[in-house]
């Protein structure tokens, strides 16, 4: 896992090359909506794309992470199928539903059932390298998602910002690891609670998932200002086992920024520790990719602190084995 995290900038470069060497046919009609279907390490890129689209895209992105697509998916929907293995059962079933509905479909996978379905139905699909844990290959799927969104004219300049992100990560590699190791030491034996502001929920979900899988830690996340209307009241008592991590940035709406400051003051009195994660980068995409990489490193160093195998996911294998007995 350490080598895969170290290779994230190179993975982003390779992903850009893959996309730029892929030919996507024009869509037969202008989509009314976009749905990304995918789960886990294959689906989180959709959540991050949805945040990017919300900030500056011209068509919203909805993410589906289950067996069934929204009932409104039809011939005017662009469905982007994202499954690293190409065999994620929920995603395969959703793709079949989209085919039945006559949706426009583009696939991202390394092979498997989805590649075969794409070929059988004469669909565009982008083949990415396989053989690694899906959570370690977010760079491949995220770049293809951003590329598809830009290719069809719903955003401008996004891939150039991905290029700038790669340079940033390469230049700041040592500093990122130093910060990540210090944070991991602070939180590894606590219950992390992760807070962000609108537009950054995707990367906090990614961070939570990486702590779950790599460091074998339970944690949760919430978004301000929504958190102010419910969860804040749950902090009535001191929580010495809890580590609060704020994903802080300087482009929040001013009232949201002030809410974050006030919440931070309140939780300083309640939580065992408070940590602030500030991004580097000029654009939203640079900040998102910086935070992805920082969070991945934190999860790795936390696995070292806890002396657990970051690659091990036996409980997921058990779940899949038992599900295989169903018709």
pLDDT at 14: 97
H helix runs in the chain, sequence order? 2-6, 8-20, 40-56, 89-101, 112-120, 138-151, 158-171, 173-187, 201-215, 254-268, 284-306, 314-323
- Dihedrals φ, ψ of 74, to 5°? -150, -160
For residues 202 and 196, give the distance between their C-alpha atoms in angstroms, rounded to a whole number: 10
Q: Are residues 142 and 182 in the same domain?
A: no
Give the mean pLDDT of 90-94. 97
Q: Does residue 217 lie in a domain region?
A: yes
pLDDT at 10: 97
Q: Judge whether 45 and 102 are in contact, CB under 8 Å.
A: no
Q: Judge whether 59 and 36 are in contact, CB under 8 Å.
A: no
For residues 81 and 43, give the distance between their C-alpha atoms in angstroms, rounded to a whole number: 9
Close Cβ partners of 174 (under 8 Å, ≥ 6 residues apart): none
Q: Does residue 315 lie in a domain region?
A: no
Q: Does residue 314 lie in a domain region?
A: no
Average pLDDT of the chain is 96
Residue 299, domain CATH: 3.40.50.10490
Q: Does residue 325 lie in a domain region?
A: no
Among residues 112, 146, 163, the one where a domain terminates is 163
Q: Does residue 317 lie in a domain region?
A: no
Residue 250 has pLDDT above 90, yes or no: no
Q: Are residues 8 and 89 in the same domain?
A: yes
Q: Which domain holds residue 148?
A: 2-163
Q: Could you report the per-residue pLDDT of 37-84, keeping only the tens digit for each?
A: 999 999 999 999 999 999 999 999 999 999 999 999 999 999 999 999
Q: Greater confidence, 327 or 101? A: 101
Q: Does residue 55 lie in a domain region?
A: yes
């Amino acid at each position: 896992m350490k080598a895969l995290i170290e290779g994230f900038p190179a993975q982003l470069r390779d992903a850009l090359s893959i996309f730029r060497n892929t030919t996507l046919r024009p869509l037969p009609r202008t989509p009314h909506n976009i749905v990304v279907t995918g789960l886990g390490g294959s689906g989180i890129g959709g959540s991050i794309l949805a945040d990017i689209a919300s900030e500056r895209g011209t068509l919203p992105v909805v993410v589906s992470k289950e067996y069934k697509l929204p009932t409104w998916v039809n011939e005017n929907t662009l469905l982007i199928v994202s499954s690293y293995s190409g065999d994620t059962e929920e995603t395969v079933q959703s793709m079949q539903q989209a085919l039945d509905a006559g949706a426009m479909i583009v696939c991202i996978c390394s092979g498997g059932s989805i590649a075969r379905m794409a070929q059988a139905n004469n669909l565009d699909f982008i083949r990415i390298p396989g053989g690694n844990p899906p959570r370690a290959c977010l760079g491949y799927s995220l770049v293809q998602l951003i590329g598809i969104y830009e290719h069809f004219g719903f955003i401008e300049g996004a891939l150039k910002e991905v290029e700038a992100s790669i340079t940033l990560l390469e230049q700041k590699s040592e500093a990122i690891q130093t910060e990540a190791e210090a944070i991991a030491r602070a939180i590894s034996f606590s219950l992390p609670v992760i807070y962000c502001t609108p537009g950054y929920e995707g990367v906090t979900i990614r961070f939570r998932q990486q702590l779950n899988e790599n460091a074998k830690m339970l944690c949760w996340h919430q978004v301000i200002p929504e958190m102010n209307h419910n969860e804040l009241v749950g902090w009535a008592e001191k929580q010495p086992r809890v580590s609060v991590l704020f994903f802080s940035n300087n482009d929040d709406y001013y009232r949201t920024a002030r809410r974050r400051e006030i919440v931070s003051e309140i939780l300083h009195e309640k939580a065992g520790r408070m940590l602030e994660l500030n991004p580097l980068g000029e654009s939203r995409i640079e900040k998102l990719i910086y935070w992805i990489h920082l969070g991945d490193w934190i999860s790795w160093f936390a696995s070292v602190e806890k002396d657990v195998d970051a690659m091990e996911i036996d409980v997921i294998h058990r779940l899949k084995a038992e599900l295989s007995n169903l018709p």
